[in-house]
């Protein structure tokens, strides 16, 4: 069975935000043929785009899985649904948002259903900072630039701060 390395971005800005992130991690661990291997710190971030809404908590999880990209996406959408996400409008408030950032070094364009790498990941501090917590040596598969370099060049860093060092007590943020 071939195991793929997958990175997922998590966000929440409604209700008990830490609990939603934690429940999402536990639910990801329960996806068949999938294991959560590393978790980032939790960051608190100012909303981007539509700004008149509560602050977000963001984090990142590394997974290994034998599922296909579409199967992973379906599982993530299913978790969002179970955790009560109601889609209002683009960039609007949400109990939980799960984005598939990277799937090995695959480049996938199945618009609008699935685009990997996630099309806006390279410009978002709230994605790149947590992603660098879980892996330091990734490269962006279409820009062919180290993720650490993209992280160093994003401009929104003043709107993001560390909120908690551990997403779940059992997990340590790891350098790889």
Residue length of the chain: 176
Report the C-alpha gap between 153 and 135 in whole angstroms: 17
Q: How far is the CB of 121 from ligand AMP (least distance, A)?
A: 8
C-alpha 166/C-alpha 134 separation (Å) is: 12
Q: Say whether 94 is catalytic.
A: yes
Region 99-138 residues binding ligand AMP, contact defined as CB under 6 A: 99-100, 113-116, 118
Contact range with ligand AMP by CB under 6 A, out of 21-29, 47-55, 96-104, 142-150: 96-104
Q: Which of 110, 29, 107 is nearest to 62 (CA)?
A: 29
99 part of the active site: yes
Distances in Å between the alpha carbon of 81 and those of 20, 28, 78, 111?
12, 13, 5, 21
Stretch in the footprint of ligand AMP (CB under 6 A) among 24-32, 34-42, 94-102, 145-153 = 94-102
Contact string (CB under 6 A) for ligand AMP, positions 61-80, x = contact: ------------x-------
**CA contacts within 13 A on the Cβ side of 104:** 11
Query: Catalytic residue at 41?
Result: no
Q: Which residues bind ligand AMP (CB under 6 A)?
A: 73, 97, 99-100, 113-116, 118
Active site residues: 85, 94, 97, 99
């Amino acid at each position: 069975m071939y195991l793929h390395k997958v990175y997922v971005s998590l966000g929440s800005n409604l209700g008990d935000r830490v609990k939603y992130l934690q429940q999402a991690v536990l639910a990801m661990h329960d996806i068949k043929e999938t294991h959560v291997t590393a978790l980032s710190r939790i960051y608190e971030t100012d909303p981007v785009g539509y700004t008149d809404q509560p602050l977000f908590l963001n984090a990142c999880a590394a997974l290994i899985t034998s599922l296909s990209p579409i199967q992973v996406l379906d599982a993530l959408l299913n978790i969002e649904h179970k955790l009560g996400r109601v889609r209002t409008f683009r960039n609007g408030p949400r109990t939980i948002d799960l984005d598939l950032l990277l799937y090995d070094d695959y480049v996938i364009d199945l618009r609008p259903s699935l685009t990997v790498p996630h099309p806006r990941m390279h410009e978002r501090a709230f994605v790149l900072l947590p992603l660098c917590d879980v892996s330091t040596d990734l490269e962006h598969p279409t820009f062919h630039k180290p993720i650490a370099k993209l992280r160093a060049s994003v401009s929104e860093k003043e709107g993001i701060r560390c909120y908690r060092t551990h997403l779940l007590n059992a997990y340590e943020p790891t350098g790889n």
